[in-house]
Homo-oligomer: A and B are copies of this chain.
């Protein structure tokens, strides 16, 4: 049975993931902001995954997927490809478990990203840019060394791991009316949706993505996975295309996918920095931007928002958003 034949993950998988993450991942705080309550007319609860290890929720999925491996498979070492948070997450989760991790990264990756993976103990293998090249390099490494691949989102253990953020948020704030997360490849929103609908089928699960990278919204409407077209968005964590598993979960459990303008993403990122005094990356601002821009009306409701990460090059952001 291949990975893709496995049934979709369910709530029990998230409970198992929560036990695996206990003591490995941070239980991140939930913050509130009277300023943003005022601006949106809703009662907002921010689950701060920017304070998670490696600065992003991605650590949850990587940690769960690695924790699920048999000793024999784990011993062979782990490989993944990533130009962002997932690579760092795999590197750190592997190192914490005494395992070797190889991260395939495009040659043109920023120095700081290469350094981050290496800093967490990962081995970087450079490849030519482009998804096809990245996947081919991973394939070669697997053939040659027998590594085990941990994909970035389209895997039951990744989805279940990401779902633990919503699980914790709902433990802290059980009576949410709405829960929101950004959607890129769909790992986070899938896990979030499974956790939320199990907790209370009436919770509205809302995904948000940049209008300039609206493949998830288009897929949701058309009923089949639409490829991401050229994606010019500052929310660089949300450029991925949905996977087979994540799309299936989204179709079943997500109520709506809303899209947000670039200006709203930029303004909201800055507003969170200025008002909440926390660093979030632009991808992270998208759900709140949707409320502020009026793409979803949550007035009078209790809304949980997963703040996904805080890995942003401030100078680059300032230059790009001027």
Chain B residues with CB under 8 A of A274: 279
A318 touches B (CB below 8 Å): yes
For residue A55, which residues in chain B have a CB less than 8 angstroms away from its CB? Answer: 277
CA distance A278 to B280 in the complex (A): 9
Judge if A151 is at the interface, Cβ distance under 8 Å: no
Complex A-B, nearest 3 residue pairs according to Cβ-Cβ distance, in ascending order: A277-B310, A277-B279, A50-B277
| A29 and chain B: residue at smallest CB distance | B29
Contacts of A270 on B, CB cut-off 8 Å? 314
Tell me if A145 is interfacial: C-beta within 8 Å of chain B.
no
Chain B residues near A310: list those with CB within 8 A.
277
Give A112's nearest chain B residue, CB to CB.
B274
Tell me the minimal C-beta distance from A29 to chain B in angstroms: 7
A273/B314 contact (C-beta < 8 A), A278-B278, A278-B279 known: yes
Question: Within residues 158 to 200 of chain A, which ones have a CB less than 8 A from any CB in chain B?
Answer: none
A322–B50 Cα distance when bound, in Å, is: 25
A221 to chain B, nearest CB (A): 35
State whether B51 touches A277 (Cβ < 8 A): yes
Oligomeric state, in copies? 2
Q: What is the interface size of chain A, counting residues whose CB is below 8 A from a CB of the partner?
A: 16
Chain A positions near chain B (C-beta within 8 angstroms)? 29, 50-51, 55, 270, 273-274, 277-280, 310, 314-315, 318, 322
Cα distance A55–B314 in the bound complex, in angstroms: 20
Contacting residues, chain B, for A280 (C-beta < 8 A): 277
A51: B residues at CB distance < 8 A: 277
Q: How far, in angstroms, from A322 to B316 measured CA to CA in the complex?
A: 12
How far, in whole Å, are A322 and B314 apart by their CA atoms in the complex? 12
Nearest-neighbour CB distance to chain B for A30, whole angstroms, equals 12
Determine the chain B residues whose CB is within 8 A of the CB of A318 once the complex forms: 314-315, 318
- The smallest C-beta distance from A255 to any residue of chain B, in angstroms, reads 30
When distances are taken between beta carbons in the complex, the residues of chain B under 8 Å from A322 are 315
Measured between beta carbons, the chain B residues less than 8 angstroms from A50 are 277
Chain B minimum-CB-distance residue to A275: B55
Contact partners of A279 in chain B: CB under 8 A: 273-274, 277-279
Can you name 9 extra interface pairs (CB under 8 A) apart from A29-B29, A277-B280? A270-B314, A273-B279, A274-B279, A277-B278, A278-B279, A314-B314, A314-B318, A315-B318, A315-B322
A-B contact list, 8 entries, CB within 8 Å: A50-B277, A51-B277, A55-B277, A270-B314, A273-B279, A277-B310, A278-B278, A315-B318
Closest to A273 in B: B279
Give the CA-CA distance A278 to B314 in the complex, in Å.
Answer: 12
Residues in B with CB closer than 8 Å to A273 are 279, 314
Looking at the assembled complex, report how far the CB atom of A312 sits from the nearest CB atom of chain B, in whole angstroms: 9
